Amino acid sequence: MQGPAVRFIGGVVFLLGGLLAFGAGAEEDAALRRAEFGRETPSPAAQQLADRVLQTADNQNLPFIVIDKVQARVYVFQADGRLRGATPALLGLAIGDHTVPGIGQRPLSSIRPDERTTPAGRFKANTDRDIHGVEVLWVDYDSALSLHAVVPGTPKERRAQRLASPLPSERRISFGCINVPVRFYSDVVSTTFKGTYGIVYVLPETRAVGDVFSFFSASNSN
């Protein structure tokens, strides 16, 4: 009786040890996860931010978007970090990472050029209708910040031509919202966020990334 009991206890210890080892390995794997950009060549900041989102599970198993303001480019990811699509985008005319308090309640005609920023930060987003009944991805409802299909704008803004320009500086024209090609919105953004919330990460252009996203700096080895 003594022999089998000892072997049984040893087996339990062995299994527990195996489970502990497996858990440690899983944590190590999570710390090494990287977002899959496919054929895209993101900026180092965009790659590192997307990696840290996965490594820290900051997206809470939700789809997410990384917006690189310096490159004026949008990357849409599935919850597991696989890229759904990427595109050039139109962003706020003014350089800056803040938003003006109360700007969402003001008429567009009252917004000065220097106030037309796309704020940096982490936002919980979902699709809904705007005041015209058009579907948009609301990034920050209170400040009227959304990601939507490109709108015509005024002729002098040349929004369609700017969106096709290879120069990021040419794509700074909006009041702050993120404009993407019509088909990209319908085929990538709308389908990815259909029936669910997601997280939008807007990289800063005047501040350090770690100052905007606390999870970025914690144990960051990239």
pLDDT digits (tens), the chain, 222 positions: 444 444 444 444 444 455 454 455 555 566 788 999 999 999 999 999 999 999 999 999 999 999 999 999 999 999 999 999 999 999 999 999 998 888 888 888 888 999 999 999 999 999 999 988 999 999 999 888 999 999 887 788 898 899 999 999 999 999 999 999 999 999 999 999 999 999 999 999 999 999 999 998 755 544
- Residue 17 in domain: no
Residue 3 belongs to some domain of the structure: no
How many Cβ atoms are within 10 Å of 189's Cβ, its own excluded?
Answer: 28
Would you state the pLDDT for residue 107? 86
Q: What is the C-alpha to C-alpha distance for residues 90 and 199, in angstroms, rounded to an integer?
A: 19
What's residue 24's pLDDT?
54
Number of domains in the chain: 1
98 assigned to some structural domain: yes
Q: What is the pLDDT of residue 216?
A: 85
Whole-angstrom Cα distance, residue 41 to residue 24? 32
Is 156 within the bounds of a domain?
A: yes
Which CATH number is 104's domain given?
Answer: 2.40.440.10
What is the pLDDT at residue 5? 46
Asked if residue 9 is part of any domain, the answer here is no
d(CA 67, CA 90) in angstroms, rounded, equals 11
Confirm whether 11 is domain-assigned.
no
Helix (H) or strand (E) holding 146: strand 145-149
Predicted pLDDT at 175: 92
**pLDDT score of 25:** 57
Instruction: Tally the residues of the chain.
Output: 222
Domain assignment present for 116: yes
The pLDDT, as a whole number, for residue 100 is 84
**pLDDT at residue 28 in the model:** 54
* Residue 157 amino acid letter: E
User: Residue 105 falls within a domain, yes or no?
Assistant: yes
Q: What is the pLDDT of residue 203?
A: 98
Q: What domain range is 108 assigned to?
A: 33-217
Strands (E), 78-133: 83-88, 91-92, 121-129
